[in-house]
């Protein structure tokens, strides 16, 4: 985010809108868990539109709009464009919004095949190819994660509301894994995207005994080719593809095929 995109703070409260498209709403649940930290910002922010947190929403000009989920229907795409027009700053919330996420594992043709299996061959789905928000409108900042990290989101919200320049943590998940004294999966010849994945999640998946699939996105400048060289020594092509396609089928930061 550039300096001219930062919000000018004045005596008026900033108007905030939260919206969701096709998603699991896990990222908004993380926001609900931040209630004390959100209350601390209440002197500067007024939430005027939030389906999960309000009985009645207001439609007006927003200083900040947060959107969770990927637009997966023509109606959601149209709504996204309206929200963009009404918002000074538009922020993608969670991996579905920022990278296409889980919905992007299937393309439009594969999705129709599943419609046929589940609902019958006569059912014609309205879903389009799952793409990140940035495929349709200009996005000012992205808060990655599946779900987002509450602590990282609180840090970004605080910086945003107080007019500070927004930034990502300058380290990968590997750094957080080492801080937690966890064994390296790659040394154990197990696939992991930790070396190239953007940090700030606290290595939560690795702490739980799983691998890193890079839900915070690929770190800028990451050497994807070097990781692929390592993975190719012990993992099958299908296994590698499964790891990269979990969240990154629509990412333009690298080409893993």
C-beta separation of 192 from 175 below 8 A: no
Distance CA 245, CA 213 (A): 9
Distance CA 230, CA 2 (A): 36
The class level of CATH for 3-161 reads alpha beta
Whether the pLDDT of residue 172 is over 80: the answer is yes
Mean predicted confidence (pLDDT) in 172-183: 97
Torsion of CA 69, 85, 6, 58, to 10 degrees: -70
DSSP state of 151: H
Distance CA 132, CA 70 (A): 6
* Of 36 and 186, more confident: 186
Q: Six-digit token pair at 159?
A: 């910086």
Whether the pLDDT of residue 106 is over 60: the answer is yes
pLDDT digits (tens, 9 = 90+) for 229-255: 999 999 999 999 999 999 988 765 434
How many other CB atoms sit within 10 Å of the CB of residue 103? 23
Q: Give me the sign of the Cα torsion angle 239, 168, 44, 138.
A: negative
At residue 93, φ and ψ (nearest 5 deg) are: -120, 105
* Of 174 and 163, more confident: 174
pLDDT digits (tens, 9 = 90+) for 12-53: 889 999 999 999 999 999 988 887 777 777 788 888 888 766
For the chain, the structural domain boundaries read 3-161, 173-245
* Of 40 and 188, more confident: 188
* Of 41 and 102, more confident: 102
Whether the pLDDT of residue 1 is over 70: the answer is no
Long-range contacts of 167-173 (CB under 8 A, 24+ apart): 168/198, 168/200, 168/220, 169/198, 169/199, 169/200, 171/199, 171/219, 172/196, 172/197, 172/198, 172/199, 172/219, 172/222, 173/197, 173/198, 173/199, 173/201, 173/203, 173/206, 173/212, 173/214, 173/216
C-beta separation of 97 from 48 below 8 A: no
pLDDT for the residue 7:
58
Distance CA 105, CA 126 (A): 17
């Amino acid at each position: 985010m550039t300096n001219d995109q930062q919000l000018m703070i004045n005596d008026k409260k900033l108007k905030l809108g939260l919206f969701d498209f096709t998603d699991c709403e896990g990222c908004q649940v993380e926001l609900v868990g931040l209630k004390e930290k959100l209350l601390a910002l209440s002197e500067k922010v007024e939430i005027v539109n939030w389906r999960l947190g309000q009985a009645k929403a207001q439609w007006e000009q927003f200083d900040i709009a947060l959107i969770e989920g990927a637009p997966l229907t023509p109606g959601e795409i149209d709504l996204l464009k309206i929200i963009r027009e009404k918002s000074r700053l538009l922020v993608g919330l969670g991996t579905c919004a920022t990278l296409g996420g889980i919905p992007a594992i299937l393309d439009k043709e594969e999705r129709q095949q599943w419609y046929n299996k589940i609902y019958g061959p006569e059912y014609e789905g309205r879903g389009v190819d799952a793409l990140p928000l940035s495929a349709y409108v200009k996005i000012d900042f992205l808060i990655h994660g599946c779900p987002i990290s509450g602590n990282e989101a609180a840090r970004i919200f605080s910086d945003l509301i107080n007019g500070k320049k927004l930034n990502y943590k300058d380290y990968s998940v590997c750094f957080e894994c080492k801080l937690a004294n966890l064994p390296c999966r790659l040394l154990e010849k197990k696939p992991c995207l930790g070396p190239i994945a953007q940090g700030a999640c606290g290595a939560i998946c690795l702490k739980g005994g799983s691998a890193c699939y890079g839900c915070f996105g690929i770190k800028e400048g990451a050497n994807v080719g070097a990781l692929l060289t390592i993975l190719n020594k012990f993992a099958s092509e299908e296994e590698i593809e499964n790891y990269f396609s979990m969240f990154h089928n629509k990412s333009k930061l690298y080409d893993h095929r």
